Structure 1
Amino acid sequence: MINLNVNRVFLVGIGGIGMSALARYFAFKGCIVCGYDKTRTALCEQLEREGIIITYLDDESSIPLSFHTTAEDTLIIYTPAIPSNSVLLNYFKNGGFQLKKRAQVLGEISNNSYCIAVAGTHGKTTTSSLIAHILTHTKFGCNAFLGGILSNYKTNFLFSTNNVMVVEADEYDRSFLTLNPDIAVITSMDADHLDIYNDANDLKATFREFSQKVKQDGFLFKQANLPLENGQSYAALIEADYYADNIRVIDGAFIFNYIGKLGNIKDVKLRLPGNHNVENAVAAITVALQLGIDSEKIKLAVDEFLGVKRRFEVVLNTPDVKIIDDYAHHPDELKACFEAVRMLFPKKKMTVIFQPHLFSRTRDFVNEFAEVLSKPDQLLLLDIYPARELPIEGVTSSWLLDKVSLNQKELCKKEDVKKRIKELKPELIVIVGAGDIDTLVEPLKNLMQNA
């Protein structure tokens, strides 16, 4: 049992996308919110502008004075990414504070809410964000904890006075097992996080366990190809309980007919490209219909959804050059991204800048990465972003590049990308990866705008 009726909240690792949503939630509730992170990112700076105090020094001297004396009135939240030797973390552990993981806190909030949880190895951020947007746009309302910054609202936390919660259910560290949803969506169960799970079957078994945590009178919506016995199915390219029909591209938007047991909606317009995003939209529309929201209001909300930062974000679109930024870091995500690019810009030469994420993921899926990275016209491959890992002998970007069957391919240091792009003068740039490759987006945009 977690006491959420506190006046002070300190988040160790506040700059994480999931942690920052919790910080905003408690600030919305009127708590004094402070936190620590190793690096001052743009997200941290935005939190500071919202009145949240953040320290970047892992030392107890950096903790605001009131947090030293009020253990009984304080909640400390941390992420698994924080090292066990963190000075701040150990200060709170030894000081008798209420200390909980992010997933535990989300689980407690969900227990006190009507919970809509979206899980999946990919697709969950876009799907949960679209659900939250539809509920907000139609005035149904929700408190949403999202894994990306919504372009419509410039935040990853949406709030409302009702008791409905939309949450991105994270499979990493089995965090989503703390949730007990009223409505659950499972978008995908592809092998990933094999540094946490024994193998692909272990991951699938955990997703099955999550699917069984839906409340007895609740609803489970699953992507039609998933090996789950329970739940109702949805899809984009095949018939299911709920599916998209007559998908076509008009003026850069995807238009489709929504068909399902809860009703049909004709000519839905989605500004997010790709059949995978049409599928995500089918799931989101189904949830909204299940909640009883009017279909015409849903259709208008989908039309006005601008997407999520770094989820196929078109950051530059001129007659001479296009730049797309995407968070894709798994082979299946890259495949979906590249297919969407080809559908939108079939005659453009595609230059991909990719930063592999994690040594273990690169090792586990090296052949799959090599196959999909052979699909663009040109590839600049950056060094592997280590995130929480130490290097693994023999697992390098050079090793991966050797397996890529593409003539125009090269290794490139992150600091040399801008210079190389200036030399290549590409007409279509796709920036992909989950590390710190996003810091290249604005410099490349400025470069190409002024070329």
Structure 2
Amino acid sequence: MKLTDIHNVFFIGIGGIGMSALARYFNYVGKQVVGYDKTRTPITNELEEHGIPVHFEQDVQLVPTAFKNKENTLVVYTPAVPDSHQQLHYFTVNGFQVKKRSEVLGIITRDTFCFAVAGTHGKTTTSCILAHLLKETGIPFTAFLGGISEDFNSNFVLNGTEFSVVEADEFDRSFLRLSPNMACITSMDADHLDIYGTEEELHESFEDFVGCLKPNGKLFVKNGLPLKGITFGIEDDADFRAENITIERGTYIFDLITPMEVLKQVRFTKPGRHNLLNGLAAFAMAVQAGSQPSRLAEALGTFKGVQRRFSYQIKEKDFVFIDDYAHHPTEIDAVHQAIREMHPNEEITAVFQPHLFSRTKDFVDEFARSLSKFDAIFLLEIYPAREEPIKGVNSTWLLGKIDNPKKGLIGKSDLVSTVKANKTGVLVTMGAGDIGMEVPKIKNELAYAS
């Protein structure tokens, strides 16, 4: 498929974070873009503000006439959309060019020097840090990000076309569509077992991803993973590592050891050892673009963050409210570690919305152990996303396994009143579903109350 022959691009699931970045790209390069999504969100509102029409019903009649010309129309869909979707069915049976988001991303980045960030955790933050580092050091690049970067206020950056930064998503084996020059793997914890079946199959898929590297490509891996590559780590024997770490007013200060030199007193403002690892991974990759290590180290200190990745909503002397995308036990553990490190001796109340019935079923005991670490924990019902319910798998079941005297199951209508009644030193909301939509309401109420 030649993108030069495409005039119209129709998106099914345009409101997804990865899909919307692609939509912005095609709109920017002059294609006609239209899309469907299930519900209206801030992302779909922003797309409409940029001149991209979005509709919220599957009716084929809502497809513009120009987009029914299969000779110059590309249809992009997310794997989360079922085959029974009316518009997807129409395009498929009528012989249109219908491609998954990952395949289109692979086509766009094929002729660039591609940085691909993979891993079951840390992809979005690492790719956003990498984009920030490239921007600050004058490297021309395009970035397709899996979250809203606070440095760019967007999930899409077009700052040149020589380099590209993409997230290599393991879901549905999407990352096997890419052919990167530089690849990074941040983690390989068991996840998406509805797709892979076993942790071993997931690991094999990551090995297949490594095989997608272009000739002479380089692999960067978190130290300790069962893959050979350039390593990054904290206070260990990694090729790129942080040592002599101290914390000053919520900022990490450390020595950055590289194969070339030692950079002293480097600063990084995002809390959590997991985020420090993400910063080291991005730094190691950015060095390959030819940037000066000393300048990259300076840029690490000015990274603002990513929306819903340990995002401070309220940060006052006697109260802190943090929101995070954490939806896997390992991620919840990382959030807990970061809060305890940055806000020692404070009582932590957590609100968690489980994401997917299958993930809750596969890791229920791990979720229970992770959530039991907080001083108080409240659960919302499971956010189903693309899944149908699984009998017996619900938040009541998970709550029963949590070893914590201060716990409860709440509905969204009770969310604000519950957190107000249980206000402690630190409040954290977590989850990959629609809990993020509730965060502004909580913030406004708590800010008003204080």
TM-score by length of 1: 0.97
What does the per-residue CA deviation read over 1:112-163, in whole Å, with 9 as the maximum and x for residues that have no partner?
2111000000011111111011111222121101100001111001112232
Match for residue 349 of structure 1 among 347, 351, 360 = 347
1:65, distance to aligned residue in structure 2 (A): 2.5
Partner-residue secondary structure (3-state), 1:195:
helix
Are the counterparts in 1 of residues 313 and 443 from structure 2 also a CA contact under 8 Å?
Answer: yes
1:4, distance to aligned residue in structure 2 (A): 5.1
Are the counterparts in 2 of residues 331 and 368 from structure 1 also a CA contact under 8 Å?
Answer: yes
1:237, distance to aligned residue in structure 2 (A): 3.3
Partner-residue secondary structure (3-state), 1:292:
coil
Partner-residue secondary structure (3-state), 1:71:
coil
Residue equivalent to 2:283? 285
The AA in structure 2 aligned to 1:138 is T
Are the counterparts in 1 of residues 119 and 185 from structure 2 also a CA contact under 8 Å?
Answer: yes
Matches within 5 A, 1:111-260: 111-228=110-227, 230-260=228-258
Residue equivalent to 2:57? 57
Partner-residue secondary structure (3-state), 1:58:
coil
1:419, distance to aligned residue in structure 2 (A): 1.3
**CA–CA distance in structure 1, aligned partners of residues 161 and 261 of structure 2:** 26
Partner-residue secondary structure (3-state), 2:145:
strand
**CA–CA distance in structure 2, aligned partners of residues 12 and 85 of structure 1:** 12
Residue equivalent to 1:8? 8
Residue equivalent to 1:73? 72
Are the counterparts in 1 of residues 320 and 427 from structure 2 also a CA contact under 8 Å?
Answer: yes
Aligned-residue identity in percent: 47
**CA–CA distance in structure 1, aligned partners of residues 357 and 56 of structure 2:** 27
The AA in structure 1 aligned to 2:171 is Y
Residue equivalent to 2:360? 362
Are the counterparts in 1 of residues 349 and 422 from structure 2 also a CA contact under 8 Å?
Answer: no
Count residues in correspondence.
Answer: 449
Are the counterparts in 2 of residues 262 and 289 from structure 1 also a CA contact under 8 Å?
Answer: no
1:50, distance to aligned residue in structure 2 (A): 1.0
**CA–CA distance in structure 1, aligned partners of residues 328 and 12 of structure 2:** 28
What does the per-residue CA deviation read over 1:32-69, in whole Å, with 9 as the maximum and x for residues that have no partner?
1111111110010011111111111211211123212x
Residue equivalent to 2:432? 434
What does the per-residue CA deviation read over 1:406-430, in whole Å, with 9 as the maximum and x for residues that have no partner?
1111111122111112222333110
**CA–CA distance in structure 2, aligned partners of residues 393 and 89 of structure 1:** 29
Residue equivalent to 2:389? 391
**CA–CA distance in structure 2, aligned partners of residues 306 and 263 of structure 1:** 26
The AA in structure 1 aligned to 2:386 is R
**CA–CA distance in structure 1, aligned partners of residues 396 and 4 of structure 2:** 49
Partner-residue secondary structure (3-state), 1:258:
strand
In structure 1, runs of 5+ residues without a counterpart are none
Pick closer, same or farther for the CA change 1:215–1:57 going to 2, 3 Å.
same
1:363, distance to aligned residue in structure 2 (A): 1.0
Compare 290-299 and 164-173 and name the one that shifted more: 290-299
Pick closer, same or farther for the CA change 1:387–1:4 going to 2, 3 Å.
farther
**CA–CA distance in structure 2, aligned partners of residues 105 and 263 of structure 1:** 39
1:90, distance to aligned residue in structure 2 (A): 1.8
Residue equivalent to 1:30? 30
**CA–CA distance in structure 1, aligned partners of residues 331 and 70 of structure 2:** 43
The AA in structure 2 aligned to 1:305 is F
Compare 437-446 and 154-163 and name the one that shifted more: 154-163
RMSD between superposed Cα atoms in Å: 1.2
Are the counterparts in 2 of residues 262 and 286 from structure 1 also a CA contact under 8 Å?
Answer: no
In structure 2, runs of 5+ residues without a counterpart are none
**CA–CA distance in structure 2, aligned partners of residues 264 and 158 of structure 1:** 31
**CA–CA distance in structure 2, aligned partners of residues 270 and 109 of structure 1:** 32
**CA–CA distance in structure 1, aligned partners of residues 12 and 240 of structure 2:** 41
The AA in structure 2 aligned to 1:36 is Y
1:2, distance to aligned residue in structure 2 (A): 5.1
The AA in structure 2 aligned to 1:98 is Q
The AA in structure 2 aligned to 1:200 is E
Partner-residue secondary structure (3-state), 1:450:
helix
